[in-house]
Structures are given as C-alpha cells and as structure tokens.
Amino acid sequence: MKLTPKILLRVSVFCLVTTIVLLFLNSFFKPEWTKWNNYYTTKGFYEEPENTIETVFLGASVMQSSVSPMEMYAEHGIDSYNLGTEQQPVLGSYYWLKETYDYHSETLKNVVFDVSALRSKSKDSFYHKCFDNMRFSKNKIQGAYEYKKKDIGDTVSFLVPLLSYHGRWSSLEESDFTKHTWEADTGTRGYYYIKNSYFRKEGLDGVVINSPILNENAEPAELIDHSLEYLDKMVKFCEEKGLKLVFVKTATRIWDSELHNAVQNIADSYGIEFYDFNFDPLFSTNGFIHAYDSGSDGKHLNYYGAHKFSRWMGDFLVKECGATDVRDNPKYDFMKDQYKEYEARVLQHVDLASSKSVTEYLSIAFKGQNTVLLSVKKNAVGALSEADKAFFRESGLTKFADLTAGDSYVAVVQNGQVLYEMTGSEKGTENPISYKGVLGDGKTTFRVESGGEFTGNTADIIIDEKSAMETGDGLNILVYSDELETALYTTRFNTANTTKRDNYGMHDLYILENPEEYNREYAPNSMRGLLKAYMQKLENIKKGSVSTES
C-alpha cells in the first residue's frame, strides 16, 4: 500500500487521538496517594519558584511528620522543603535529591536524610508512592528503570498508570474524576501534620518506653544492601555538587542501639554527621516524651514533637550550615503567603485542639476567616459561669448566654460576626429547629439542626448534604475555614455539666517544661497524673530498674 499524504495524516491523527485518550485515562486510573500528604507534597514542590530551596529533607513518613519547614521559616527565615514520602525507599530519596537539584541547583546547599529506610525492604507500592507524582523526567525514568532491574517492559508498565492500575477500573471513585482540580497545599511545604497523641490511644499502659541510654557495645544490626547502594550514590552526588549531607533518626519507639550502631558505622566511614534523637543527649535536651510528642502509633512525631525537632533543626541549620534568612528578600515574598496558609491550616488547628474551655475555643475560632456553626442537643445550660455568659454576650451570642435548660439553639458566626442566632422557645415550636445557608467560601451549603431535651433531643451539622460531625449532649461546634474551604475542627462541650475539657495541648507542654508547676489550676488531673507516672517510669528505665517496654 502506498503511503499517500492522506494516509499519513490519518495515521498521525489516529496516533495523536490514541495518545490523548491514554493520557486522559491515565489521569483517572493513577491513585493520588493523598494519605500522608504524598500528593500535596510533590505537587507543591513543583509550584515552588526555581532556585529558591536551600535545604531539602528526604526520607519516609517519619520525616514527613517530623519537620515543619514553616516553623523554621517563622523562627529563622529558612527556605527548606520536606520531600519525604510515605515508605520512601532510599532509591527514591536519591532520585528526589537529583530532581531537587535540577530545579534548585543555584540555591541548594543542605540535604537532611532520615535513615529509617536503610533497615527495611521496600514493596512495589512504596516506589509508586514515591515516583507516581514525580514529573516525567530523566530522574523518573532512570529511577523506575533501576528499580525494575533495567527491564524495559517492566519499566514501561511501572511508568504508565493505565498498565500499572488497570485493575482499579471497578473501584474508581468520584475523587478520581475531580482530582485534576485539586490545588497544592503549599502552606505545609511537605510537612504532614499529625494531631493525636500516643497517650490518647491506650493510656500509659499501652505506651512503649525505650531507654534513651545508648548501648555502644550492642552488635550492629544488618542493613539492606540495596538501600546502602543508593545511600552511597547519594553521598557521592552530594560530594560532587558540593552539598552538605546530614543523617538523622527521628524519635520513635521502633529504634534501638543495634540499628544506631549500624548507621553510625556507615556515617563514620563517610565522615558524615549522624544525629540520633532516640538517645541522649539529644533525646533529653530536646525534651522528647513519646507519650506526649508521638502520634497514636508511637512511631511518628505529632505536631508537638515536630515543633521540638524543627526548633532544633532550625538552630542547627543556622549555626552549622550557614542557613540564609530570606524573610527580607523580595524574591521570597511568596513564603509570607504560605505562612498565612500554614497559620490557618495548622497553627489555628493546634490552638483549637489545645483549648481547655468553651470560651477559649470560640475566641480562637472567631479570630480566623471562619464560619462557626453551633447547635445544642438535649441541654446546654448549667455550667456557664457569669464570666462565661459575659463572653457570649460580648461575642454577640446573647441568646445563648440567656438560654434556658432544655431549649433548642442554633447559631452561625462568620469572621467573628453573628449572622444568625435562634432558640426554640423564641421560634415558638415544639419541634427541632434548623437553619440553612451558604458558608463564607460562597459555594458550600450548610444546615444546622437542634432539638433540646423537650423538642427532639437531637443535633446535626450538615455540610454539602452530609453530616459533618458526631454530635452529643451540650454545645456542638464546627469550625469551617472559608479561606481553605474545609472543615477545620469539630468538637463538643457538655456545657450542662462543665465548660472545661480534660484536653491534651500546649498547656501540658508548659507543665512538662516547668514540672514545679504541676499543680497549676489549669492542669487537668488525669493528664497530670499520666505525665508524672510516665516521667517516673522513664527515670526508672534509665536506671535499669525495669524492662524497656511497659
């Protein structure tokens, strides 16, 4: 058959259409790995202006949850990015290092690597979480090619989502068809914010307490040869490009002297600094307390632990690595906007979670660009003091301050201004009351429902036709960030009995740093007792008087 221009055109159009269809289908079939922030971490990285990042953090999920670049920016003006991904293999860390250098070769100076992955084998899903959202580049191709042991067919299958994930067709969800509209979470710069605590899972009896005293004579553990191969490549790359490489091990319950000694031997052989926060002096001087600073699994640092680690790391980067303060450099003005997002997304959430009373909670919620929805179930009257009532009146919630026992109540407060407030008795109904509208983002609908003790005994707060929280007796509160277009925090105060809550928060951090003030009035008895018992148990372990696990 003669290839006429008309036939060539048809073939070209067919190939073009086929390519477009494949790319279109690829976008649906590829999971975005949103758990542990993987999607937002990598997408946000590519939105950073080129040649701005000075320090990059690499490693698995323990790195993601341990380093908050925005904390270091606020205190020292450091431009850094946390490129940890869930279960990141060392091969992946190496190629993300190269990807970072390709975009920031003029500014990149420091590389901080968490050594966790040196001890464990990696699965196929680990590599997908690491590489799927890397842009198509020589680094992505080479990384996949080496992972697949230089098999071209397997490499192509790994790189093409339609081939890797063809089995997902029957489990595609609505989010798979809308993810192309998602915006990057640039305010966290790769940091994964963990909200809960180890204490909250099982109490003190479920907390593993390891000794922070290093056994230098322990037999070094065996590390994974494949991981050591790519660690060597990472070391040589940093030497070639003049980058300072530092090894760290974040505080976790799953680490021991055998692993430390193995990594220390490797670090010594390269002449690289290794900072292990599981052992003294770093463990104690930074005030790490696993029960307080770790998430519910005891493996990853929560916000309070990350705050401590980031504080130390910021000081280290300034004093030992000559980190640059970019806060007054117009080139970095974009970080000021990122910090505002961080304040809304993380710091305000921390403050809400840390609040000890209903008035403290609401005073925080009313300060942000938020819509606050309130609903009463059963009874919300009984525990309000005159000071509490004065706060509600000053805030414009006068009807709640004067609420009678068993009455229904709903309210909407936007940017600190009361938009709507209603009680069941005022409305003159024996049925539950409700109010609906649009949130401050201008597009999300809501409905607030309330039934007091004698009018249904019910409550619900509904966002976009879906119940948004598990309500209970008393005052139910949902804080919606109009700026971030997401529900920021939900909670309940059983104000019929108390306006306080025995909560885990920054006040407890103050107590830990000031143990002589354990008996301050605001310290909840149960938390104070747990902390005292934990500290005593830790001291006993240091002295070798009990087992290293509870």
pLDDT, tens digit (0-9, with 9 covering 90-100), for 463-485:
999 999 989 999 999 999 998 88
pLDDT in tens, 182-209: 555 667 999 998 887 776 655 667 778 8
Structure tokens of 281? 């002096």
Comparing 81-95, 211-225, 266-280, 506-520, the range with the smallest average pLDDT is 506-520
- What CA–CA distance (Å, rounded) separates 302 from 285? 18
Using pLDDT thresholds of 50, 70 and 90, give the confidence band for residue 168.
very low
Closest-CA residue to 275 (of 66, 513, 36, 76): 66
Task: Return the half-sphere exposure (C-beta side, CA atoms, 13 A cut-off) of residue 522.
Answer: 14
Of the pLDDT bands very low, low, confident and very high (cuts 50, 70, 90), residue 537 is: confident
Prediction pTM value? 0.83
Task: Provide the 10 A C-beta neighbour count for residue 385.
Answer: 11
For the segment 80-130, what is each residue's pLDDT rounded down to a tens digit?
999 999 889 999 999 999 999 999 999 999 999 999 999 988 777 787 777
Please say if the pLDDT value at position 224 is more than 90. Answer: yes
Give the β-pairing of 458-463 and 466-467. antiparallel
Nearest to residue 327, comparing CAs of 109, 74, 108?
Answer: 74
Could you tell me the domains of the chain? 31-343 (3.40.50.1110), 357-493 (no CATH), 506-542 (no CATH)
| Strand 110-114, strand 55-58: pairing | parallel
Say how far apart CA 337 and CA 347 lie, in whole Å.
Answer: 14
